[in-house]
Amino acid sequence: MKKTYACIALLISLLALGQDRAQKIDSLLTHLYRAGQINGNFLIAEKGQVLYQKSFGLANEEKGEPLNAEAVFEIASVSKQFTAMATMILCEKGKLGLDDGLSKFIPELSFYRGITIRNLLNHTSGLPDYMELFEKVFDPSKIATNKDVITIFAQHRPKLLFAPNTKHEYCNTGYALLATVIERVSGETFPDFLQKSIFEPLGMTHTLVYKRRLAPKRIDHYAFGYVYSETLKKYVLPDDQDGTKYVVMLDGVVGDGGVNATVQDLLKWDRALYAHTLLSKKSTDDMFRATTLTDSTSVGYGFGWQIEDHPEFGKIVYHGGGWPGYATFFARHLTDDKTIIILQNHDDITLPLQAIRSILYNKPEANGLSLTPKELQKFEGSYELQPGMVINIEQRNGQLYAKTAGQPTLELIAESATSFRLKEINALVEFAANAETTVSGFTFSQGAMKTVAKKIN
């Protein structure tokens, strides 16, 4: 009887702990929503059980329709994990090999020698990003498709940025090409293959590959993505706005993006990865293994997943997504089986990842060094981390944020007068100041990787 009472007492204390954390998360997010810093759906789970789920804001600004639990969001680069899974499914079936050359499946690009399927998956191909090229040479009145990506690269033959597997640079081109590889190997369209091989078997009934401008259709509870117009002083669709209207031109390209989903469907996906429903444990482990370059340098990226071995929280695999109108994030804490899913349909807002994680683990949140707005002002601007990859640093409400095209906005936590921590991705940004108010660039450090970014604006 005493053991029974002890078990009941333990259960009650655990439930109370869960409720306390859920209340803290709700208090945090409610405060951020009232401050205009979030707009979207949040789901946090432990061992598959939902600890917290809530919607904040509108799905349709024009009609005033609120978001709900069934809202379907474009998940941007979080889509890459589904492209990687489709590739690995075909690999397990013997339809392709990770070390097969790109030219075997896309002979139109055979002049790119030495690039393998593995290089496309882990961003070590050296291919330049197609988005920058398309803005220079493609007709903006048309909507591009994956076929156009191949055609443009075959015509213009942009040089590799580096020899395959000698460096790691995030590249959307690789995943757009993987979508074509999947189609040519399977004999199905990319959307159909994902639907039949992933979404339907897992019961992801609200998930699909969707090209809203190229092939519009009615989707219940669709969360339209909005950008803020400084001119109109309100949130608007990005389609006709200078600086974001490329979303129309690139709407037909999939593989690097294009998947639309709900938070509940992504939780189903999370559970299926633990259960090895679609893929063997060995192949799943391969997806979550850090990349090793030719010089033996280890890079924290696998196949469609970023990888972190955290000293306190263990192994975490995650990916963010950023696209005009959307800011998304999906993290799986493998050691402790915790899941964080954030889907937002405003792209200029906060992803409060560190604060949520601190609450989830009952850890005090490190607020960092407090710097004045004047002290932070000198860090604002645009920095080129690599050709075609620009990081914009801006200050909002006395806090610095970093935004890169195709990635979510991340908060910079001050550790000194010139050093800031990107805690969500365990990276350090150290600014180089050659005068009291002048910054020339910064050094970006993540694990063993160090990259220097120059200030360009």
pLDDT digits (tens, 9 = 90+) for 187-198: 999 999 999 999
If we measure between CA atoms, which residue out of 317, 204, 216 comes closest to residue 262?
204
Sequence ranges of the domains in the chain: 76-360, 373-455
If we measure between CA atoms, which residue out of 165, 164, 56, 180 comes closest to residue 108?
180
Q: What is the DSSP string of 299-312?
A: ESB-SS-EEEEETT
What is the rounded CA–CA span in Å between residue 201 and residue 197? 7
If we measure between CA atoms, which residue out of 121, 133, 136 comes closest to residue 161?
133
Q: What is the mean pLDDT of each run of 10 residues along the chain (457 residues)?
A: 39 50 96 93 98 98 97 98 98 98 98 97 97 94 98 97 96 97 98 98 98 96 95 94 94 98 98 97 96 95 94 92 95 97 90 88 72 80 80 80 75 79 74 72 74 83
Q: Which amino acid is at 408?
A: P
Count, residues in the chain:
457
Q: Which two tokens stand for residue 244?
A: 């974001």
Query: For the chain, how long is the longest CA-to-CA vector?
Result: 78
**In 148-294, at which residue ranges do the beta strands (DSSP E only) sit?**
208-209, 227-229, 234-236, 259-261, 291-292
Whole-structure pTM value? 0.83
What is the rounded CA–CA span in Å between residue 317 and residue 309? 9
Which one of the listed residues 13, 55, 77, 103 is annotated catalytic? Answer: 77
What is the rounded CA–CA span in Å between residue 73 and residue 41? 9
Is 370 assigned a catalytic role? no
- Pick among 1.10.3720.10, 3.40.710.10, 1.10.150.20, 3.40.190.10: CATH of 76-360: 3.40.710.10
Counting Cβ atoms within 10 Å, is residue 151 exposed (0-12), middle (13-18) or buried (19+)? middle
If we measure between CA atoms, which residue out of 333, 407, 447, 412 comes closest to residue 170?
407
Query: What would the CATH number be for the domain defined by 373-455?
Result: 2.40.128.50
What is the rounded CA–CA span in Å between residue 171 and residue 124? 8
Q: Which two tokens stand for residue 220?
A: 């219940």
The reply to whether 373-455 shares the fold of 76-360 is no
What is the rounded CA–CA span in Å between residue 455 and residue 95? 46
Determine the straight-line distance between the first and last CA of the chain, rounded to whole angstroms. 71
What is the rounded CA–CA span in Å between residue 370 and residue 420? 11
